[in-house]
Amino acid sequence: MSAAQLTQKDIETFWNDGYVFKRGLLASDEVAMVDTLIRSDTSISKNSVLLDDSAGGSTELAVWNHPGDDLLGVISRSERVAGGAAKLLDAEVYHYHSKLTMKRPRKGGAWDWHQDYGYWYMNGCLFPDMLSVAIAVDPATKQNGCLQFLRGSHKAGRIEHGRVGGQTGADIDRVNALMTKLDHVYAEMQAGDAVFFHANTLHASAANTSDKSRNVLLCCYNAASNDPVKKHHHPGYTKLDIVPDARIREVGRSGVVAHLDFLNHEEDETVVGKRATSEV
């Protein structure tokens, strides 16, 4: 799949609903490469933290700023992912950061309702010219805590955020009011499916109550014109070298391990994490 397969209808859906699905964004063999990397690369497990939710559960999280030439890096720099983000925003984009969210079977916690721009506004980004791409590494279901969206909630603008457990969440009174007016959508996906969603789209996910893992690769982008006005833990404009989609398989087959500048969560006020001890 290439960015050209993001159609005009996809663009319209994105701006109307606040998100758009692209089924099969990664092929089955590409997904298998990512899954193997997550399970075998000790640098990921060593740099993961457990992020608490408001109900006492926790999700394992690893975050990095700059993509390299490893498998995860080239996915986030690929034409189908980064090029798709640029097409949806109709702008040059750069890699703001990526993350792996890993919900263990019957242990993975919830993510409370929030907007990504609820965080990123505080990082000095003046405009919500930003989006995320969530790529399912495992099938994402209601039972294992798939993403949930309020359709069209990006049109409500930025909502105030505050501490919710170990996370930063949206004003729940405002969220509840919007729930009476907007469709509540469960973003169930097969492995390899993806959803592009706007930085102001309200989203959440429930705890993993199943016996299956729920791993997701999230790649986040900012418009080059939206360079943050202050220095923060996520980078300012950095020219993004977008690579052909074929590079994903080339790197995946080479067995290159992840070479990522993992974020020091002690410096990130949007999360309060504790070092993960479980194996990835």
- Flag whether 280 is in a domain: no
Write the CB contacts of 237 (distance below 8 Å, at least 6 apart in sequence). 94, 222, 224, 227
Domains in the chain, number: 1
Q: pTM for this one?
A: 0.91
**Domain membership flag for residue 116:** yes
Query: Is 257 inside a domain boundary?
Result: yes
DSSP characters for 213-243? -EEEEEEEEEEGGG--SS--SS--------B
Structural domain including 162 reads 3-275
How buried is 126 (Cβ within 10 angstroms: 0-12 exposed, 13-18 middle, 19+ buried)?
Answer: exposed
Query: Which helix or strand (DSSP H or E) is residue 155 part of?
Result: none
87 in any annotated domain: yes
Angle between helices 246-254 and 28-40 (to 10 degrees): 40
- What is the residue-level pLDDT of the chain in tens, covering all 280 positions? 444 479 999 999 999 999 999 999 999 999 999 999 998 888 888 888 887 776 777 788 899 999 989 999 999 999 999 999 999 999 999 999 999 999 988 888 888 899 999 999 999 999 999 999 999 999 999 999 999 999 999 999 999 998 766 678 899 999 999 999 999 999 999 999 999 999 999 999 999 999 999 999 999 999 999 999 999 899 999 999 999 999 999 999 987 666 677 775 444 444 444 443 332 2
Residue 50 and residue 109: Cα distance in Å, rounded? Answer: 9
pLDDT at 274: 44
The enclosing domain of 214 has a CATH number of 2.60.120.620
Alpha helices in 27-171 (DSSP H): 28-40, 42-46, 71-77, 84-89, 116-120
Q: Does a structural domain hold residue 197? A: yes
